[in-house]
Amino acid sequence: MNELINFWVVLPLIGFLISVVLPKKNENLISQFSFFSVGLHMFSLYVFLAYWIWQGHPTLDQKDWVLFTSSEYEFFLDFCFDKITAVYAFVGSTLTFLVAIYSRTYMHREPGFKRFFNTILFFYMGYNIAIFAGNMETLFVGWEILGISSFLLIAFYRERFLPVKNALKVYSIYRIGDIGLILAMWLSHHLFRENITFLKLSNYEMVSDQLQSHTLIGIFISGMILLTAAAKSAQLPFSAWLPRAMEGPTPSSAIFYGSLAVHLGVFLMMRTYPFWEHQYSVRVLIFLLGLATAIVATLTARVQSNIKSQIAYASIAQIGLMFIELSLGWGILALVHFAGNAFLRTYQLLVSPSVVSYLIKQMFYTYEPNKNHIKHVISKKFIYTFYILSLKEWNLNSMMYKLYWNPLKWLGKRVNFISMKHVMYFFVPAFLLGVISRYYHLEMHASFSHYLPILFSFIGLLMVLKAFAEKSKARSSWILIILNHCWLALAISFNEEFKFTETVFYLGGIFMAGALGYYSLNRMKRIEDKIDLSRFNGHVYSHPRQALLFLLCCLGLSGFPITTTFIGEDLVFSHIHSNQLALAFFVSASFIIDGLAIVRIYARVFLGPHVHSVYEMGYRSS
């Protein structure tokens, strides 16, 4: 039975790859192939589930591919199947199949018809990799695929300003979750001295022995897992991104933000439950977070004028209740709750246009106020206070501006002294001097060499901050991102013996994607003369192939699992010691801003309203 797990992971991958090469104008072929690939996956899964239950629903685990091995580290893909995977797979396959059928009519004659179905199949591939994952590394592969498919679905109407802007916002929140997961993997490697699987994590004696002697490390890992889950499932303080993610087509909102992807934070908490089960301070924190989110989201949902926003906040509130259930140890109830909420929200979003029409008619002809409403009991001042707070969505979006986006912009402005001239005259020679001293083993004072990794990683952070804040020169920003990775590799090589093969794994994908990306930007510069980062240029319409090539380069440069850099990022963190929090902070901050700067370049150059349009366009929403 173990070998069958590979089938559920490989089949969506094959379906996506075939869909990419289908002719763009043949809507029937594209939609029918999508029905067939998702339907085959669904019905074969139903048969397997019946057989699995008949056999006593055993927990299956399959270690498949070892991608990298060193004396102290092993990167492998592991897949497992248990009751959690069974529920998520059943719900995911059923809803994806139904939404694919619905989308055939909904997206008819849409210019991006093929692009939509390709992205849905891409999402379904990532979803299956995530829910079948047997360790955090495999889960992270699916997690990254879901992140980029989310960006593409939100920005599906890429000729408009607001969808692209909101896609960037959502991706920036996802990036926080990605780094939380990387930091959790980093310290779990140090805690267990191995690439731990979820099956081994269920060993109470092993986990308990480690946590008794490393209590703070255990709390930190649990905190990072909770941070990742909260970002993915739109819990406080990240709740404001979910209604803004509804800019995409209604079917993608239903499958992605109403039912499946938004519940993956709950899935992560379920998967890691044996680890934080006996950390009662963490359980209390999860309970309070879920309770606060449920209350705030419920109040906010009741005053929304947009039906998608109402459904989004209602779903957030239910996920908050799932967090409460998990904190109390009610895992089975949380699974049932997930299935019910996923089916309900998908149905609500798909029928939302009809519901709006019905409610408008009811409001004008049959509406009667509720005489026993709570507002007749509670003070009006109290009610109005909560009404205004809920109407403003509790200022969650402005809070993210003040605590996250604005500080990044402020820091970016502070490093304006870094120009390409300064980089060539000062930073490149300093980097070469560091490489020479490292690989020719030049002697230096022990205390000085101890602080070099922190210094070099800080310089890399300055590079990527400047790239993020760059307003005009896209190519200069791209070069600074590449240099950031070089400084990080140099920092880790001074921190510990970072072997040449590991350096190649990390920087090989960086240089390949970086060179192709620079070629693409250079070609766009020659053709269009101006690729300004101060506005959206929308060049995807005139140059779709260049946009696709540059998107692939962006994925490779940001550590997406299409190059060896994906493994290299994990290797970098495996060489950071558990007591080097400053180094871990600078490296993780670099990775967060690195992803934001890369996606920002892609969005500014290729997405949004076309720069040569002669028509007036709105750049702000009401």
Residue percentage of the chain with pLDDT more than 70: 91
Residues 128 and 58 in one domain: yes
Least confident of 100-114, 189-203, 433-447, 595-609: 433-447
Instruction: Look at residue 226 and tell me whether its pLDDT is greater than 90.
Output: yes
Sign of CA dihedral 434, 438, 444, 448: positive
Residues 248-263, mean pLDDT to the nearest whole number: 86
Task: For the chain, give percent helix, strand, coil, nearest 5.
Answer: 75, 5, 20
Residues 137-163, mean pLDDT to the nearest whole number: 89
Residues 236 and 333 in one domain: yes
306: in domain: yes
- At residue 328, the pLDDT reads 93
313: in domain: yes
How many whole angstroms separate alpha carbon 19 and alpha carbon 31?
9
How many whole angstroms separate alpha carbon 268 and alpha carbon 243?
22
Residues 541-553, mean pLDDT to the nearest whole number: 90
Residues 419 and 332 in one domain: no
Which residues 6+ apart lie within 8 Å of 386 measured at CB?
A: 299
At 498, which amino acid appears? F
Torsion angles phi and psi, residue 77, rounded to 5? -95, 130
Cα dist from 498 to 146, 436, 568, whole Å = 31, 15, 11
Residues 272 and 186 in one domain: yes
Torsion angles phi and psi, residue 265, rounded to 5? -65, -40
Average pLDDT, the chain: 85
Residues 53 and 164 in one domain: yes
616: in domain: no
List the one residue out of 62, 54, 490, 94 whose CA is nearest residue 255: 94
Q: Which residues pair with 76 in a beta bridge?
A: 66
Residues 445 and 311 in one domain: no
Residues 614-621, mean pLDDT to the nearest whole number: 56
What is the token pair recorded at 553? 């380069």
Residues 355 and 456 in one domain: no
Residues 125 and 199 in one domain: yes
Domain stop point among 321, 342, 359? 359
- At residue 116, the pLDDT reads 92
514: in domain: yes
Other C-beta atoms closer than 10 Å to the C-beta of 309 total 18
**pLDDT band for position 268 (50/70/90)?**
very high
- At residue 362, the pLDDT reads 60
Instruction: Look at residue 365 and tell me whether its pLDDT is greater than 70.
Output: no
First-to-last C-alpha distance (Å) of the chain: 55
- At residue 213, the pLDDT reads 81
**pLDDT band for position 206 (50/70/90)?**
confident
Residues 493-517, mean pLDDT to the nearest whole number: 83
Q: Please give the torsion angle defined by the CA atoms of residues 19, 22, 24 and 27, in that order, rounded to the nearest 10 degrees.
A: -80
In the block, residue with structure tokens 């980029």: 148
392: in domain: no
Instruction: Look at residue 569 and tell me whether its pLDDT is greater than 60.
Output: yes
Which residue intervals of 155-272 are DSSP H helices?
161-192, 198-201, 204-213, 215-232, 241-244, 250-252, 264-271
565: in domain: yes
Radius of gyration of the chain (CA): 25
What is the token pair recorded at 229? 């889950």
Instruction: Look at residue 355 and tell me whether its pLDDT is greater than 80.
Output: no
**507, containing H or E segment:** helix 500-528
List the one residue out of 74, 76, 46 whose CA is nearest residue 61: 76
240: in domain: yes
**pLDDT band for position 91 (50/70/90)?**
very high
**pLDDT band for position 507 (50/70/90)?**
confident
Residues 493-504, mean pLDDT to the nearest whole number: 77
What is the token pair recorded at 383? 């009610």
- At residue 297, the pLDDT reads 92
Instruction: Look at residue 214 and tell me whether its pLDDT is greater than 50.
Output: yes
Instruction: Look at residue 622 and tell me whether its pLDDT is greater than 50.
Output: no
Q: By residue range, what is the domain housing residue 107?
A: 2-359
What is the token pair recorded at 308? 């998608």
- At residue 564, the pLDDT reads 82
- At residue 340, the pLDDT reads 93
Query: Pick the residue with more confidence: 110 or 337?
Result: 337
Residues 331 and 435 in one domain: no
Number of separate domains in the chain: 2
Domain stop point among 318, 339, 359? 359
189: in domain: yes
What is the token pair recorded at 456? 């070099």
List the one residue out of 136, 167, 315 whose CA is nearest residue 246: 167
Residues 264 and 134 in one domain: yes
Residues 19 and 132 in one domain: yes
**pLDDT band for position 375 (50/70/90)?**
low
Residues 300 and 420 in one domain: no
Instruction: Look at residue 384 and tell me whether its pLDDT is greater than 90.
Output: no
Torsion angles phi and psi, residue 11, rounded to 5? -60, -50
